[in-house]
Amino acid sequence: MRRGAPAEKFRHPAQVVAIGFGTAGLVGTGLLSTPMAAASGVPSDWTTALFTATSAVSLTGLAVVDTGAHWSVFGEVVIAALFQIGGLGIMTLATLFTVLLSGRLGLRARLLAQAETKVLGMAGLRRVVRNVVLFSLLCEAVTAAVLTGRMMVGYDESLGRALYIGVFHSVSAFNNAGFALWPDSLTRFATDPWICLPIALAVIVGGLGFPVVFELLRSWRRPRTWTVLTRITLVMTVVLLAGGTLVFLATEWRNPRTLGALDDPGKLLAGFFTAVMPRSGGFNSIDIGAMYPSSWLVTDLLMFIGGGSASTAGGIKVTTVGLLAFVIWAELRGEPSVNAGHRRLASSTQRQAVAIVFISGTLVALSTYVLLVLTPHSLDQVLFEVLSATATVGVSAGITPEVPPAGRLLLVVLMFVGRIGPLTLGSALALRERARRYELPEERMIVG
């Protein structure tokens, strides 16, 4: 095939992933722009439709309008379909359809699915994709059943309405989308463990990452056999959840506008829930805008870190932070290589972790500056919003509906980039990868 042919231009799997998510967002924008998508019957403006569609397919949850009031049932179903597609992954769905239609996978289809699911090996990819879909649907079904029962028993909802609420929020929770059908998210259920705990558990499981979940299911009785990925993910997840809960409880315990208005069991539940959601869940059971600035700072850090690799969560990922911790420890000890869990970590993985942090940090800094110029809001509010979009979290300081159109477009770009990942976007823009066939002489620089 001659150089520059269409098949040659888009041969990199990362390019197709980016195009796939972009196409899904544009299709969602078109559907949400129709009159039947709005509760009023009046078509929504294109910026509102684009922002909502991108927020849904990128699993962010930021909204410029009240989801339950502005959108019709059709519009809400479109939004739910978008974050289900975003959660499973465009390429995972495409691979599943290929399996169903042809019963076998070609090399190109395997590569595309591998780029989305982050599978390290190509063997058994068809089984992996099938398990991803089945596990996702099972978790969503269990969560929906609990929520449906609670809405019927505790809030006198009809079976149809309770089932609709249960399915919508279970899919939103497992996929870390953060969309809710109430204008105050889940603050009205802040002390209800039958609502908050199933949603929090679904967010945690969805944010672990499918490779980790499947390894735990296979060998949960043999922790010594766990891979470094699983160990780092679990340790970092527990540390962040426990640390975040303690910090929020200590900081907000007497705040009358957040935890201070609840009884002690309610404070514990809301504190835990608040620690879970910044790692990409996106729901809130207390008023985020009423938290103290110190709590905002902790939330910023949790949002930037995010969840597990190959998960529905966003952020730079806990594995990236854990890997860099090992790199720093090895450097402090003067060791020539980085070891973790009786394994030597590849230098390419270390460079990738450094690149992710640098690119993400630079993107956040530049975007914060631009949004500060475009809006009259304070630095802590703008930084909070930018991090929520970049890390595809969805919690808001309350300024999203007030952002001008230019600022909304910036947040749309951040949500899109945050979903497919900085390195995936970078490789998608590169036409080809070049292997260096020589090495230059080494020179040591002064660092620090």
Q: What is the pLDDT of residues 207-256, one digit of tens each?
A: 998 888 888 988 888 888 888 889 999 999 999 999 999 999 999 999 99
pLDDT for residue 426 is more than 60:
no
Which pLDDT belongs to residue 156?
Answer: 95
62 has pLDDT over 80: yes
| Average confidence score pLDDT of the chain | 86
Q: pLDDT value at position 75? A: 96
Query: What is the model's pLDDT at position 328?
Result: 92
pLDDT of residue 211: 82
**Partners of 38 in the beta sheet?**
71
pLDDT per residue over 172-187, tens digit each? 999 999 999 999 999 9
Residue 330's CB is within 10 A of a number of other CB atoms, namely 17
Whole-model pTM? 0.88
Dist CA 295 CA 287 (whole Å): 12
Comparing 198 with 113, which gets the higher pLDDT? 198
- Checking if the pLDDT of 111 tops 70, the result is no
- The yes-or-no verdict on residue 11 having pLDDT over 70 is no
Torsion sign, CA atoms 360, 362, 367, 369: positive
pLDDT bucket at 445, cuts 50 / 70 / 90: confident
How confident is the model at residue 6, as a pLDDT?
A: 47
The neighbour count for residue 103, using CB atoms within 10 Å, is 8
Lowest mean pLDDT among 253-267, 353-367, 392-406, 429-443: 429-443
Which residue's structure tokens are 């590169």? Answer: 430
Overall average pLDDT of the 408-437 stretch: 73
pLDDT for res 1: 43
Residue 54 has pLDDT above 90, yes or no: yes
Q: Is residue 407 within 8 Å of 292, Cβ to Cβ?
A: no
Minimum mean pLDDT among 42-51, 109-118, 150-159: which range? 109-118
Burial of residue 370, with CB atoms counted within 10 A of its CB: 0-12 exposed, 13-18 middle, 19 or more buried: middle
Q: Is the pLDDT of residue 45 over 90?
A: yes
The amino acid occupying position 55 is S
SS3 state of residue 340:
strand
Mean pLDDT, residues 350-378: 92
User: So what's the pLDDT on residue 383?
Assistant: 96
Q: Mean pLDDT across the stretch 178-205? A: 95
Task: Mention every residue, 6+ apart, whose C-beta is less than 8 A from residue 36.
Answer: 72, 74, 75
Q: What percent of the chain has pLDDT over 90?
A: 61
Q: Is the pLDDT of residue 297 over 70?
A: yes
Query: What residue has token string 């995936």?
Result: 424
